[in-house]
Each structure stands twice: as C-alpha cells, then as structure tokens.
Amino acid sequence: MNLLAKYFPNAVTIKSDFLQATGETLYMTAITAIVAGIIGMAIGIGLIVTQPGGILENRVVYNILDKLVNLCRSIPFVILLAVIAPLTRIIVGTAIGTTAAIVPLVIGSAPFYARQIQNALAEVDHGVVEAAESVGSGPIAIIFRVYLKEGLPDIIRSSVLTLISLIDLTAMAGAIGGGGLGNLAINVGYSRFETDVTVMAMLIILVIVFAIQLIGDLLARRVDHTA
Amino acid sequence: MTNEAIIQLKDIDVTFHNKGQTVEAVKKVSLTVERGDIYGVVGYSGAGKSTLVRVINRLQRPTAGSVEVSGQDILALNPRELRTARTKIGMIFQHFNLMASRTIADNVGYPLKGRLARDERKKKVAHLLDLVGLSEKAEDYPAQLSGGQKQRVAIARALANDPEILISDEATSALDPKTTSSILELLKRLNKELDLTVVLITHEMEAVKEICNKVAVMEAGEIIERGDLVTIFSRPEKPLTQDFINTATQINQALEKIFRQAATLNLSESQQLVQLQYVGASTDAPLITELYKRYGVVSNILYGNVEILQDTPLGNLIVVMSGEPDKLAAAWQYCQDAGINITHLNPNDSEVA
C-alpha cells in the first residue's frame, strides 16, 4: 500500500472515483456489447446469406447492408459522437452521461462487429453448407446449425477483437461526458497534471483488455476442433 | 433389378453467366437412371458431369429441361417440398464436407435432428456407423480421421434419411487406390443391401469398372456415349471412351512399351502384331491352342488382361502371330467367327487402336 501511495500519490486519494469509473466503463462496455452484438451479428449473418452465391442470395438486401456498414464505419468516432447527439437525446432523453454514451457506442461498434462476423462466417467451407442443403436443411437450420456452429471459434476471436476496440471507444466517449476511466484519465489526470491518475486509468484498462483476451483465447481453443 | 426409372433428366441445359462470359456447362443432356442402378458418369474435369448431377437434387437449377426423381417434378417443388425431396437423395463429395466442430456421431446425426427423438437418433446413428464400420470413432472429431474414414462418415450422414438415391460427386478422387477400392466396395454393398440407386461421378474409369452396371461418358457438356458397362467396355465407339478404357485396363501403358520395343521385335512378313478382344463365353475357348492346332499359327503373347465386369469376363490380348500368310488370314477369319474382336496394330502408328 505504501508503494502504491508513493508512485500514485493522487490516484490513491480518489479511490472511490476509480471504482466508480471502472464500473462505468464496464457498464458501457457490457450494455453496448449486448446491443451491438445482436445488431452486428444479425447484419453479419444477413451479409453472408444474401451475398452472391449465398443461401438466400439477394442483391438488393446485400448491397443495402454492405453500404450501410461501410458508411457507418467511415465516420470517425469522435465526430459520430457529436453528429448523433440529437438522436441520442430522442432515444435516451439526454446526450450526456454513461447511458447516453451507449447510443454512439452501438452505432460505432455494430458495423465493425458485423464485418468481423461476416469474415468469420465466410471462412465456413461452402461445401459443408452444400452438404447440409443436400440432406434437406433449410436456411434457419443452416444459419444456426452450420454457420454459427462451424464459425464459432472465429466468432469468439472476432468478438474479443470487437470488445477490445469497444473499450477503446468507451474511453473516447467518456472523455466527452460519458464518464468511465477515459473521463478520469483526461479530465482529472491530464487536465490537472496528475499523471499518475492517467497511468492508473491506463493500467486498469490494460488489465480489463488482457482479461478479455485471455478468456477469449481459452474459449476459442476449447471449441476449435480443426486440428 | 426392376426397370423402373428413378431419375429422369430431360434436355437439361445449364448455362452460367459470369462477367459477360457465357459458359454452357451442360447442353441438352438427357439421362435415365433405373432403380438399383450404379450409374457411372465419367469425363475429364470441366466436362460438366458435376453440374449435371447437381441438377438431380436442385443444388443447381437447370437453365432448361425437366428433372423427375421418383416420379416427382423436382423443378416444380417449393422450398419446403424440395427439402423433403432432398432427404431422399443422399450426396457425398470429393472433400467429404464434414463439420469440423461436431463429433463423428453428431455429423452423422445432423440430418436427423428434429426428425427423430433423441433416443431413436442415437440408435440410428449407432446403426449407421456400424454399417460403414466406424463404430469406435463415434466420439472423435473429423480432424482425427483419415480420408477414407471421413468419406465413410460422409456416407453414413448421407444415408441418415434413408435415401433411395446416393449421388457420389468424385467421392474417391481425393483417396489413395486402396481406400478408393474399399469405398467403392462399400457403395456396392449398400446398393445391394439397401437397394440404393447410386450415381457415381468420376474421372477414373477404374472406379466405374469396379462397381457400375451402366456408364455415360461426358465431354464438353454432352453425353457422347452411354450404355451398359460390358457393352461400353467391349465396343466403345468414341475415341474418348476408348481412351478412358485403355487407361483403366492399362492397355495404353502396355502398348506404349510394346511399340517402343517394336523395332527390336523385328517383325517379318509372316508375323503380325494384333490385339484380340473378347467378351464373355469366348474367353473360355482355348484360342491360342486352337490357332496352332488348326492353322499352325504360333501366337506369342506380349500382354494379357482379363477384366471381370458385372460377372462377365472381358479379355484383352496383344500377341505376335506367326505363320504362312494364307494361314494367318484363315486364323484371322476364325477369330472373327468366334466373336473375337481382332485388330491389327501398327507400331509406326502412334495412335492407339
């Protein structure tokens, strides 16, 4: 504890702030992960099944989804935060605060996740899909029992990647009023020249990231039977 | 074996459009497969044979033509009816197409989920694995199996819905010769035991030779020759068919060697290099002895091969006949009268007879 006080003199005095900020970061990450996860997964699956040669080939739907994903992905996140503030106000009632940050976070990360899912599912051997069709499987069965099942190791890996980039985004959202560790690092650590607070915030984020990576790798290895 | 047509393809066209290019993969092909047949479709890659058979279960929709399977118009079915129809048409593939994330038992049981209760499914899977001889591998994953074992699993999966037809799309092409034989034997056994109609696509005439009773030869999207196996093997009409057969019976290799040595054979005026081909009963007559006894013609056998196709022997001999010119002519006539297909081989002619 003395060592902590020696190297993080300012950080130890605001321990409760750190606890709260960590909680906020985890809250934003978790809620966004669930909402963006569902939306991204749906769009990713939509892209795979409607793509040329897909099991529900549909050029119009595919092009709409594809363009939508590209469009959302090309807006820098800081600008997105500002641009969709009115929309956030409609949905959550306010454009400031942790819950309000979730709206831009979802819009910022869902398209990214959709692309990741699309790539993961594209790795599923088309021959296996064809084999499933040949035994009489319909589109729903093929999505859930072939694509999602066969693509699971890759889905887990891309989910980890998305989660980590999501934590990156929460730090940015926090800086403009969303709270969390990013907010603490910038508005307390950076603005008041209390570098140790910034470093501490960074370390906590690193721990979260490493934990996610570790769990993800373990899970992926468990479900992967390709070798 | 009844003569009921189980698959009827009529005037099938399949045309692909790709980046402004039009490829006619299958052109006006008709094919009838009868119940209980093991029908071989042979051709080089790109001949359109895969595309043609994928029309049977509508994995490929034909541009034109009609498809009838077990009396059902496959092209008129809605998606749900098509899925039901597909359960009666099993299919196996060159690269097995097993699910890496599922155990062997789960791969085989995949088609049964939602169709059978859990206990029944388990029983059925055990029975299917037993049928293909892989009971002890039930809990393994495909990555732990050899190619031949994977194909057996794929066969068990294809049979899960008790299909009447099994389509084999180059199923032995990725396997070594010994494994190929064992898979072909399994298909033949299933054909007999389960009354399964098999459509076998391959580029290897050896595979056709081993198990098929009928064969169609495809080239450039068309069937150029078809018939029952023995007829095709004994009297091929098209050069491509002949080529496939010669490769399968290894006559090509033998002829190549003989021709290379032809100079050293030093054939005189009274000697002839001939190929004798005979089918069925004519194999039983002691031909070489007869030729000597009747005409004093001596036959020196350079190469001999007898294939048993559908229980019918098919013999091939390459011999040098020596004797007086008129005796040779008489011997020639005798062979022809005995129903033996006799052809003169010219070593200077690189074209294989």
Decide if A128 and B89 are in contact by the 8 Å CB cutoff: no
The answer, for A52 touching chain B at a CB cutoff of 8 Å, is no
Q: What is the ipTM of this complex?
A: 0.86
**Which range marks the domain in which residue A103 is found?**
2-223
Decide if B161 and A135 are in contact by the 8 Å CB cutoff: yes
State residue B1's pLDDT score.
46
* Contact of B303 with B258, CB cutoff 8 Å: yes
Q: Report which residue type is found at A90.
A: I
pTM: 0.86
Q: For residue B176, how far is the Cα from the chain centroid?
A: 16
Decide if A150 and B101 are in contact by the 8 Å CB cutoff: yes
Decide if A134 and B95 are in contact by the 8 Å CB cutoff: no
Backbone angles phi, psi at A135, to 5 degrees: -95, 5
State residue B353's pLDDT score.
41
Interface of B with A in 62-81 (CB under 8 A): 79-80
Domain with CATH 3.40.50.300 in chain B: 5-236
Range list of H helices, chain B: 49-54, 79-86, 104-109, 118-131, 147-159, 177-193, 205-211, 229-234, 239-249, 251-265, 287-295, 325-337
CATH code at A63?
A: 1.10.3720.10
Over range A20-29, report the average pLDDT: 93
Which residues contact residue B118 at a Cβ distance below 8 angstroms, ignoring those fewer than 6 apart?
none
Asked whether the predicted pLDDT for residue B162 surpasses 60, the reply is yes
How far apart CA A44 and CA A13 sit, in angstroms, is 46
Please count the structural domains in chain A: 1
- For the B250-344 domain, the top CATH level (class) is alpha beta
Distance to chain A for B79, nearest Cα, Å: 8
Domain with CATH 3.30.70.260 in chain B: 250-344
Token output for B332 = 């020639």
Nearest CA in chain A to B159: A135
Distance to chain A for B93, nearest Cα, Å: 8
State residue A224's pLDDT score.
92
CB-nearest to B101 from A127, A225, A227 is A225
Asked whether the predicted pLDDT for residue A5 surpasses 60, the reply is yes
Query: pLDDT confidence of B283, banded at 50, 70, 90?
Result: low
The answer, for A57 touching chain B at a CB cutoff of 8 Å, is no
Task: Render pLDDT for A163-212 as a digit per residue (tens, 0 to 9).
Answer: 999 999 998 887 667 788 988 888 888 888 888 999 999 999 999 999 99
Higher-confidence residue: B343 or A36? A36
Nearest CA in chain A to B92: A131
Contacts of residue B160 in chain A, CB cutoff 8 Å? 135
Token output for B279 = 């089918």
Interface of A with B in 166-225 (CB under 8 A): 223-225
Measured in residues, chain A has a length of 227
* CATH ID of B5-236, from 3.30.565.10, 1.10.260.40, 3.40.50.300, 3.20.19.10: 3.40.50.300
* Contact of B13 with B62, CB cutoff 8 Å: yes
Task: Render pLDDT for B6-16 as a digit per residue (tens, 0 to 9).
Answer: 999 999 999 99
* Contact of B220 with B318, CB cutoff 8 Å: no
How far apart CA B134 and CA B126 sit, in angstroms, is 9
